[in-house]
Structures are given as C-alpha cells and as structure tokens.
Amino acid sequence: MLISTEIGTFQGLGSIEKTLDTLKEAGFTAYDFSMFDVYFESVANVDDYKEKAQAIRDYADSIGIVCNQSHAPFPTARKGDEAYNKAMLPKIRRAIEVSGILGAKVCVVHPCNDYTATENAELYKNFESCAREAGVKIGVENMWNWNGEENHAKTAACSRHDDFKAHLDLLPKDVFVACLDIGHAEMAGLDTNAVKMVETLAESLEAIHLHDNNCWHDNHAVPYTYNIDFAKVIDALKRVGYKGDITLETNLAKKVPVALIPATAKYMAEIANYFKNEIEK
C-alpha cells in the first residue's frame, strides 16, 4: 500500500521536480498527478506530451517515487453543453494516455454531476479503449451538487452509495473502479456516509481520496482537524479488505508559506502513513 498526495496544491515549489523531491524527502512513496489547469496545459496539452510525460516518469523513477494515481481535467462533461462535451473528449483521452506513461494505476475521470448512471455509462464508453491501451484503470468518483436555498449538498452522480454502485454495475469491471472521496461521502444532505460507501463498493473500491471536513462543506482539510470519524472509516476499509493506496487530497500545502511546504509535506506523510499502518494491522 502506497502513501500519496495530489500535487496541484504544491505548485508554489515552482517545478514538478522540486515537488517530487519534497514529497520523497517527506516520506511519500507515490504522487497523484493532477491534470487540472497548469499541469494539463504544460504536460498533456502540448505537441511533445509523450516526451514531457516520459521525462517526469524518468525523474520520478530516479528518485524512487511513483505515480499511483492521476486526475483527468474537470468537469468531464456538462449536461446540455454539447460544444464543451465534444471539446473535452480528446482532452480526457490525452490525460489517460499521459497517465499510462507516468505509470498511474488509476486515472480519475469524474462522472458528469447531472447525468444518470446510464448517461454516464455512455460517456465513459468514450474512454474504455484508451484506458485499455494505456494500461490504466478509470476511477469513478462520488460527486456532489449544492442546494443554495437549504445550504447543504444535494444529489449528484455517485453521491449516494446505491447510485455509485449502479454506475459501476453498468461498466466493465476490469477497466472501471471506484475511487471513493471520503470527504464528499460525509457531506450533509447526501443521505450516505463513508462507511456505507465502503461497505457497498467493497471489491470495486481500488482508490480513495482522503481528507476531512465539518460534515457539511467540502473543506478538504487534513484528517483529524474537523469532524469525520476516521476510526469507523478505517474499520470499514479493513473489513472489506481494501488493498488500494492512501491518497491525500487536502488544501494545506497551498495555504502555508512556501518555506513551510516541506514541513507541511512531512506532517501530511505521517498522517497518510498512520492510515496505512492502521488498515494493514
């Protein structure tokens, strides 16, 4: 079991090489290559994307850290916006291809928040062959919408445990897996929780995004700083025999001064390692 973190919040370090050095020195054994904005534009959305991705892979290999997971650009699709959706298809395919070059096991491709399970299954068919060719599994993640009048989250694709399973039941199991966002599962208004999610997804669960919140908003805080009961989450992961990695998705690294990012990374790695050790007991 690897311990990992997304790298989008570490951009203050100035380069991907410096970020990987910092994570390796902090104790992380893997990283999540988040292809939002800068990393997609600078690595995936260029003519020499294969060479750029291979250079990152070579550097990571040279210092002993691996890409365990990646994020494709988001949102994958918008209901009713055919021009946007058409433009996104090649971008998602490119992100999956880059993920394969980097060595990622899972590339998270978010479902469209406002599609049904059947509609999202049709969307995901566009990426199945690409994922097979790249040797990468596609991670389906639980999402959320927001009820502004009542000030809490509301239903979106995969936001409930039963809808998440319904999505996966329509997809080939050798390509599509569950990536459970622990924080999203604990938001009020979605009529679910992380334990129900883990129990329902069970053997389909191959990746997690780990962060804390106040059980109301999507705070993306460091675990044990807000309200999620992680003892119950760890117990559930142990009971289903979770064998995936621990990938943090917190916003702490972009909140501190650049000089404190290395210390912040070490703190985060210790938390990720604690989860790993507790699950593997």
Residue range(s) defining the domain that contains residue 30: 3-280
CA distance 232 to 253: 26
Q: Cα–Cα distances in Å, from 87 out to 51, 76, 165, 191, 220?
A: 23, 10, 28, 34, 29
Which residue type occupies 191?
A: D
Q: Give phi and psi for 274, each to the nearest 5.
A: -60, -45
Q: To 10 degrees, what angle do helices 194-201 and 230-239 make?
A: 10
Three-state SS sequence of 176-212: EEEEEEHHHHCCCCCCCCHHHHHHHHHHHEEEEEECE
C-beta of residue 22 within 8 angstroms of C-beta of residue 10: yes
What's the token pair of residue 63? 């210092």
**pLDDT value, residue 275:** 98
C-alpha 59/C-alpha 199 separation (Å) is 38
pTM: 0.97
The CATH number for 208's domain is 3.20.20.150
Contact 69, 139 (CB under 8 A): yes
Residue 119: the pLDDT is 98
Q: Which backbone phi and psi does 150 adopt, to 5 degrees?
A: -100, -5
Q: What's the domain count of the chain?
A: 1
In the block, tokens 């936001």 appear at 159
pLDDT score of 38: 87
206 Cβ contact partners less than 8 Å away, ≥ 6 residues apart:
105, 106, 137, 139, 177, 178, 179, 243, 244
Q: Give yes or no for a contact between 105 and 143, defined as CB atoms under 8 angstroms apart.
A: no
Q: Which two tokens stand for residue 225?
A: 């700083």
Q: Is the peptide bond before 75 cis (omega within 30 degrees of 0)?
A: yes
Give the contacts of 130 (CB within 8 A, at least 6 positions apart).
93, 96, 97
* Widest Cα–Cα separation across the chain: 52
Consecutive 10-residue averages of pLDDT for the chain (281 residues): 97 96 98 92 96 98 98 97 98 98 98 98 98 98 97 98 98 98 98 98 97 98 98 98 98 98 98 98 93
The residues, any chain, with a CB within 8 Å of residue 162's CB and separated by 6 or more, are 200
